[in-house]
Structure 1
């Protein structure tokens, strides 16, 4: 109990000191406020170097003019924010010929044997397109013109207490060796000060951050947001390309 209270006080000091600086983002008390970063990392983040996207990706850039803002949530293709709980399952993808529906295979936040049922498939993935390592221009083009993109980035101690605003911290790294959390880029925008940002869906529940989302500064590969990014090719894409 003393350890929890002492940790909470230390995090509270970090929150107050950070917010006093009037940065582009604010921190706040949340469910991680009584955890040390090491404790939070062991429960919620990936460990070790990640085997992620190819150094040279295969996303094809076009000359289409990109919109200044994009948000796939307005088009009804982004599911509700989930809470991965202590399972640390942000990395999980299945190569079983499809993904079962949430109704038929609910998330349990526990390690176990896969119970995939091929007659309960709700979506199929034909292939995966990688974004070139560090190429935010490719990532923006893909988010603007194709669909939401799975990305990985480095969570650092202050980020676990994120509350609002555009997160930007020079203490982040930008290499595949340091990314430790997988999330979903669902769009991008520009704040009132003219700073461009990514709209990112997290997996720590809807009470964390901005209703489960966060904004990350765009243009600096902040925290390695474009070092390990990819999106799926689905059967519908193949139909359209053959028309």
Structure 2
């Protein structure tokens, strides 16, 4: 039943695509120099469809494509048709190396209803700094690129483990994300997963994560590889996961005390982020992506979280995004995890 329904949707998306191109190609005679470029963009989209016969994945691709098309066409006139054409195809470029499937089915595994964080009185607390960033302490690994693998959940968790190990041992090791993608049996590999499920698996099994150089990233789910116990590896001793919505000041304390935080967010509108502070524009209303908070900055008029993404260093601000603090923007405080090694 689902198969038939899915393919019917895809057929409708094909119809929409056809009429969209007819409408956009109406402008081409006025701009002959753009014609060849636009036609090559159309070829790229058709190639995408042929390479990805997963109807659900194609549908998610076109949902954002259509949103971009409608937004641009509604805000420019025919004299600005060059902008229209650029806008129509802009999303194609943004999605080339972005985790389409991760955005689509991140919560394919059972979502976790986390307990609310309850503050335990602990005498006089130290005042929080106005600005704090774990990158300044050289305990944050380089920004990675998950490419077309929906393994954002694994990148977020491994990033947290790398930092926890570096804080404790004063040595920053690049650990294997592919190991978590392949071996975390309670997740779906490159088809989506949960940060909490991954941490639960690591905590229960005490699996040692090896170096990335020994188990390199393949951008697809593979068979789980096992290593000798004598080999180098990092295992976790535990983790904490809470809902901090409405308590972002306590979330700051957790970050300063325990290290970078793996969080889930609504990132549907993040694909074309270029800079600045995200304050609104979280359209889907549910978590669909996982990232790593490395710090915060409250020195300006708008306080913000400093967030490491896994879409490569060319995305955003050198691979990072700034998200406004205090209003649970994009659900950033709903599912927050810290890890201990």
Q: Which TM-score tier does this pair reach, normalised by the shorter chain? A: 0.7 to 0.9
Gaps of 5+ in 1: 18-28, 235-243
Q: Residues 171, 185 of structure 1: CA spacing in aligned structure 2 closer, same or farther, 3 A cutoff?
A: closer
Q: Distance in 1 between matches of 2:94 and 2:293?
A: 27
Give the ranges of 4+ consecutive aligned residues of structure 1 lying more than 3 Å apart after TM superposition.
3-14, 47-50, 57-62, 118-122, 170-174
What is the CA–CA distance in structure 2 between the aligned matches of 1:130 and 1:55, rounded to whole Å? 8
**Structure 2 counterpart of 1:33:** 91
Is the strand fraction higher in 1 or 2?
Answer: 1
2:266–2:282: 8 Å Cα contact kept in structure 1? no
Q: Is the 8 A contact 2:94 2:271 kept in 1?
A: no
**Equivalent residue, structure 2, for 1:26:** none
State how many pairs are aligned. 216
TM-score by length of 1: 0.75
Cα root mean square deviation, aligned? 3.5
In the alignment, what sits opposite 1:182? 290
Which residue of 1 is the match for residue 267 of structure 2? 155
C-alpha distance in 2 between matches for 1:132 and 1:119: 37
- Equivalents in 2 of 1:224, 1:50: separation in Å? 18
Shift of 1:8: 10
TM-score (norm: length of structure 2): 0.55
Q: In structure 2, what is the equivalent of residue 43 of structure 1?
A: 101
**Which residue in 2 is equivalent to 1:110?**
220
1:16-43 deviations in Å (ceiling 9; x for gaps): x6xxxxxxxxxxx9x9731698xx6743
Name whichever structure is richer in helix by fraction: 2
Worse overlay, 201-210 or 58-67? 58-67
CA distance in 2: counterparts of 1:139 and 1:32, whole angstroms: 36
Q: In 2, distance between residues paired with 1:50 and 1:121?
A: 32
Q: Distance in 2 between matches of 1:53 and 1:144?
A: 24
1:240 is matched with which residue? none
CA contact (8 A) 2:277 2:324 kept: yes
> Which residue, 128, 139, 143 being the options, matches 1:81?
143
Instruction: Tell me which residue corresponds to 2:304.
Output: 197
CA distance in 1, matches of 2:119, 2:209: 23
Cα deviations across residues 171-217 of structure 1 (Å, max 9, x unaligned)? 4466xxx101111000000364x100000000000110011110000
1:167 aligns with 2:283: no
Distance 2:127 2:298 in 1: 17
Question: Any gaps of 5 or more consecutive residues in structure 2?
Answer: 1-40, 47-61, 76-86, 155-197
Which residue in 1 is equivalent to 2:252? 140
CA shift in 2, pair 1:59/1:147, >3 Å: farther
